[in-house]
Amino acid sequence: MITIENGTVLFGEDMRAIKANIVIEEGIITEISKNKINSGKKIDASGSIVAPAFINSHVHTGDSIARDVGDGKSIDEIVKPPDGLKHKILSESPPEGIINEMKQSMEDMLASGTTTFVDFREGGLEGIKLMNEASKDLPIRKIILGRDDSFYGDEFKRSEVKKAAREVLKSCDGIGLSGFGEISDQVARLITKTCRKQDKISAIHVAEYENLQNESVELTGKSEVQRAIEANFDVLVHVTSPIGNDIELISKNANSVVCCPRSNGTLSVGIPPLMDLIKHKVNVLLGTDNIMFNSPNMLREMEYTLKVTRGYYKKHFSPLELFETVTSNPSKAFNLNIGSIKEEKIADMVIVKKISENPLLSIINRTEPQNIKYLIKEGIIVNKYRT
pTM for the whole thing?
Answer: 0.96
199: left (phi over 0), alpha (psi -120 to 50) or beta: left
Classify domain 2-53+339-384 at the CATH topology level. Answer: Urease, subunit C; domain 1 (2.30.40)
**Dihedral angle of Cα 205, 209, 214, 217, to the nearest 10 degrees:** 20
Nearest to 107 by CA among 64, 58, 171: 64
**Domain-wise residue ranges, the chain:** 2-53+339-384, 57-333
d(CA 318, CA 360): 10
**Dihedral angle of Cα 121, 122, 123, 125, to the nearest 10 degrees:** 30
The answer to whether residue 276 scores a pLDDT higher than 50 is yes
Residue 125 sits at the vertex; the CA angle it makes with 196 and 228, to the nearest 5 degrees, is: 35
CATH of 57-333, one of 3.40.640.10, 1.10.3720.10, 3.20.20.140, 3.30.70.330: 3.20.20.140
d(CA 353, CA 5): 14
pLDDT tens, residue by residue, 35-72 = 887 778 899 999 999 999 999 999 999 999 999 988 88
Q: Which long-range contacts (CB under 8 A, 24 or more apart) does 167-170 make?
A: 167/125, 168/124, 168/125, 168/128, 169/194, 169/195, 169/198, 169/200
d(CA 189, CA 195): 10
The answer to whether residue 337 scores a pLDDT higher than 90 is yes
Average confidence (pLDDT) over 201-217: 97
Could you report how far apart the first and last alpha carbons of the chain are, in Å?
25
Q: What is the pLDDT of residue 380?
A: 96
